[in-house]
């Protein structure tokens, strides 16, 4: 079995490790990949998506796994191009991936199918946005397009709103696009991942992402500074409610709207006092949630993805461990505003009792790992007791150092004393 994974970050490193450890022992390729991923999957050099597809066809790739979202909506869409060329793809078609690529599309989908979500207004200018806010703070502003997890601002006052609106509408930091003004919700957040195959789905282990840069959820939003995954993260009754009010109507909605879906679908939820609500959909696994979840998954993940891409959902191929998994992210100097490359990393080889996934590293001319991106490494441990796993993960992370390293110390600790959780 030959599998090509699209992406280059920690999520893809985790997916590739899980594929490599599958009993099918697939031959693995990655595009564009990274130096760390190259230890598990051969990197493929392709100038663009059409030439990647041509390469996959020529090399008789059995399965393409979409890790990163941007390829799903580029050109004709990764999954669409795969289908045209007879290559099974684990990842949705371009039209369905609008659920992630356009927040406005997602809001309309949610409203059409009566799925609980925060009220929102779509605005095209700074003036319209201010009018929609109507002086009510906190408010949530969302850029209507892909922005690598940085297109959302929770604004406590008008000064913060003006700063974000200036970035979007004047500086065009994310390119052209609208802004959604959304009602501010409160409650613990949870990320639910479903493997979706047409009208069927399988829920993976729920996870929680820590999105802010600093301890205590302070500072700006990032792509994610750590994650915790466990079945125990959500009470069984809450999971039933989520399934009934959110997951099932979403799967039905995709069918009704003629939106084909085979791949991971990520539900970003907030457990508000009036029930769970959808914050966002993503059309792929989360990063860093994937790094936390995958060590809990055993069975034949490669076969599961291949069968899914062919239209067969096969829960019998997977098992999920019952314990806890904790992922601590090490980020580079300047993140999330910028990131510093070239800081030499030490200590990776001294970590024995944790999995290390590389998010943004490369090998320098002397053969040492150095920083190469905002999020650099994910350190992941799993076991039965949350507290023990938390200390194990933080102790393992302590062994790794580089200049400018940023990391949170409360991953797996903060948010475990709230209602509806654990």
303 touches ligand GLY by CB under 6 A: no
**Considering only 44-52, 84-92, 247-255, 283-291, which stretch makes contact with ligand GLY by CB under 6 A?**
283-291
In sequence order, what are the beta bridge partners of 363? Answer: 369
Q: Is 283 exposed, middle or buried (0-12, 13-18, 19+ CB in 10 A)?
A: buried
189 touches ligand AMP by CB under 6 A: yes
Least distance from C-beta 191 to ligand AMP, angstroms? 9
287 makes contact, choosing from ligand GLY, ligand AMP, none, with CB < 5 to 8 Å by partner type, with ligand GLY
> What track of x and - describes contact with ligand GLY for positions 352 through 391 (by CB under 6 A)?
----------------------------------------
182 touches ligand GLY by CB under 6 A: no
Tell me whether residue 62 or residue 209 sits nearer to ligand GLY (CB atom).
Answer: 209
Cβ–Cβ under 8 Å, residues 185 and 118:
yes
Bin 395: left if φ > 0, else alpha if -120 < ψ < 50, else beta: alpha
C-alpha to C-alpha distances, 411 to 69, 72, 215, 374, 383, nearest whole angstrom? 25, 31, 8, 18, 15
- Angle among Cα 324, 194, 387 to the nearest 5 degrees reads 10
Least distance from C-beta 183 to ligand AMP, angstroms? 6
* 174-205 residues labelled b (16+ CB within 10 A) or e (exposed): beebbbbbbeebebbbbbbbbbbbeeebbbbb
Residues 137-176 that bind ligand AMP (CB under 6 A): 140, 142, 149, 152, 154
C-alpha to C-alpha distances, 331 to 171, 211, 405, nearest whole angstrom? 26, 13, 6
Give the residue among 247, 318, 301, 272 at the shortest CA–CA distance from 421.
Answer: 272
282 touches ligand GLY by CB under 6 A: yes
Tell me whether residue 182 or residue 209 sits nearer to ligand GLY (CB atom).
Answer: 209
In sequence order, what are the beta bridge partners of 380? Answer: 327, 355
List 62, 68, 144, 209, residue binding ligand GLY (CB under 6 A): 209
185 touches ligand AMP by CB under 6 A: yes
Positions touching ligand AMP (CB under 6 A) are 118, 140, 142, 149, 152, 154, 182-185, 189, 211, 221, 268, 279-280
Positions touching ligand GLY (CB under 6 A) are 149, 209, 224, 282, 286-287, 289
């Amino acid at each position: 079995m030959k599998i090509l994974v699209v992406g280059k970050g920690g999520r893809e490193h985790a997916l590739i490790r899980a594929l490599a450890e599958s009993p099918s022992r697939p031959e693995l390729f990655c595009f564009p990949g990274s130096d760390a991923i190259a230890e598990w999957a051969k990197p493929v050099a392709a100038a663009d998506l059409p030439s990647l597809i041509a390469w996959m066809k020529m090399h008789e790739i059995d399965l393409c796994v979409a890790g990163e979202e941007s390829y799903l909506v580029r050109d004709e869409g990764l999954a669409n191009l795969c289908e045209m060329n007879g290559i099974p793809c684990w990842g949705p078609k371009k039209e369905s991936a609008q659920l992630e690529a356009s927040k406005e599309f997602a809001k309309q989908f949610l409203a059409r199918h009566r799925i609980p979500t925060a009220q929102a207004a779509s605005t095209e200018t700074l003036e319209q946005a201010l009018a929609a806010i109507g002086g009510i703070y906190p408010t949530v502003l969302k850029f209507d397009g892909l922005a690598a997890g940085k297109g959302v601002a929770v604004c406590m006052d008008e000064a913060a709103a003006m700063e974000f609106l200036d970035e979007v509408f004047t500086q065009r930091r994310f390119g052209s696009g609208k802004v959604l003004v959304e009602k501010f919700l409160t409650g613990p957040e949870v990320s639910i991942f479903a493997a979706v195959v047409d009208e069927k789905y399988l829920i993976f282990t729920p996870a929680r992402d820590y999105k802010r840069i600093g301890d205590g959820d302070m500072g700006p939003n990032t792509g994610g500074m750590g994650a915790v995954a466990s079945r125990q993260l959500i009470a069984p009754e809450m999971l039933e409610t989520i399934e009934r009010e959110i997951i099932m109507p979403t799967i039905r909605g995709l069918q009704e709207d003629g939106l084909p879906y085979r791949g991971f679908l990520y539900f970003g939820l907030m457990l508000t006092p009036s029930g769970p609500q959808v914050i966002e959909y993503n059309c792929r696994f989360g990063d860093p949630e994937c790094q936390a979840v995958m060590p809990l998954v055993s069975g034949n993940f490669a076969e599961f993805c291949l069968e899914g891409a062919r239209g067969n959902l096969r829960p019998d191929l997977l098992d999920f461990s019952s314990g806890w998994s904790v992922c601590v992210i090490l980020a580079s100097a300047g993140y999330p505003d910028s990131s510093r490359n070239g800081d030499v990393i030490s200590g990776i080889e001294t970590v024995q009792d944790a999995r290390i996934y590389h998010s943004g590293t490369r090998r320098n001319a002397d053969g040492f790992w150095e920083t190469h991106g905002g999020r650099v490494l994910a350190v992941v441990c799993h076991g039965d007791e949350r507290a023990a796993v938390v200390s194990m993960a933080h102790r393992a992370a302590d062994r790794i150092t580089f200049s400018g390293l940023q990391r949170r110390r409360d991953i797996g600790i903060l948010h475990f004393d709230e209602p509806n959780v654990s």
